[in-house]
């Protein structure tokens, strides 16, 4: 459909959620905003392919998710390097509990396999139904459910099974993370 004023406003209104999704996926604010910008440009350039009456946020999230995945493949090595730096950052943190807890959560989220992380965020934070999340990720509903469950299990194990003194990937965590 053509870009009407109301459609443009709806796209703009989706920006806060797109940013939250992008930051949750990438863990990097600057990169996330670049992803959002690219998403908006693609959406506007391809607005003719948007079906009136269909789910605009889901359409935009699909674009962002696909951009992130192609970007992610390119940057894989870089991302893995940053994992190591993350652990150093954690160790240097003073014991400000709320902040530390947030950092630990963020780090644990980053350790999830990509498929599981995106499924968990879409369902658990963005508020999409399993059905919409499945469409966004291009997979079956059952697959999304299983990814969300596995993501929750892994986060539990990473955050709550071990003590918090050493958050580094010890043997237990390695076993749980599995096939990174």
> Rounded to an integer, what distance in angstroms lies between the CA atom of residue 45 and that of residue 59?
13
- Residue 92 CB, nearest distance to other proteins (Å)? 18
Binding test (CB under 8 A) with other proteins, winner from 40, 112, 119, 137 = 40
- Residue 58 CB, nearest distance to other proteins (Å)? 17
Number of residues that bind other proteins (CB under 8 A): 48
The pair of three-digit structure tokens given for residue 125, joined into one six-digit string:
């934070």
Q: Which of 55, 61, 50, 79 is nearest to 15 (CA)?
A: 61
The pair of three-digit structure tokens given for residue 93, joined into one six-digit string:
């943190």
- Residue 23 CB, nearest distance to other proteins (Å)? 5
Provide DSSP, 91-143: HH----HHHHHHHHHHHHHHHS-HHHHHHHHHHHTS---HHHHHHHHTS-HHH
Binding test (CB under 8 A) with other proteins, winner from 161, 166, 168, 174 = 161
Binding test (CB under 8 A) with other proteins, winner from 1, 3, 87, 140 = 3
> Rounded to an integer, what distance in angstroms lies between the CA atom of residue 82 and that of residue 21?
20
Contact call for residues 33 and 19 (beta carbons, < 8 A): yes
37 near other proteins (CB under 8 A): yes
Give the footprint of other proteins on this chain (CB under 8 A).
2-3, 8, 11-13, 15-17, 19-21, 23-24, 33-34, 36-37, 40-41, 44-45, 47, 97, 101-102, 105-106, 109, 120-121, 124-126, 152-153, 155-157, 159-161, 163-164, 171-172, 175-176
């Amino acid at each position: 459909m053509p870009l009407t004023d109301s459609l443009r406003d709806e796209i703009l209104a989706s920006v806060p959620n797109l940013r939250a999704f992008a930051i949750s996926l990438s863990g990097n604010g600057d990169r996330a905003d670049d992803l959002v910008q690219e998403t908006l440009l693609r959406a506007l350039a391809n607005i003719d392919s948007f079906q009136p009456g269909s789910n605009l946020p889901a359409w935009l999230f699909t674009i962002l998710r696909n951009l992130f995945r192609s970007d992610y493949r390119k940057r894989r090595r870089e991302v893995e390097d940053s994992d190591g730096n993350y652990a150093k950052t954690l160790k240097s943190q003073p014991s400000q509990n709320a902040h530390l807890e947030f950092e630990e959560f963020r780090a644990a989220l980053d350790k999830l396999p990509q498929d599981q992380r995106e499924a968990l965020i879409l369902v658990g934070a963005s508020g999409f139904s399993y059905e919409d999340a499945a469409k966004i990720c291009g997979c079956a509903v059952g697959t999304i459910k299983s990814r969300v469950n596995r993501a929750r299990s892994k986060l539990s194990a990473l955050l709550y099974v071990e003590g918090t003194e050493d958050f580094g990937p010890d043997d237990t965590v390695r076993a749980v993370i599995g096939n990174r």
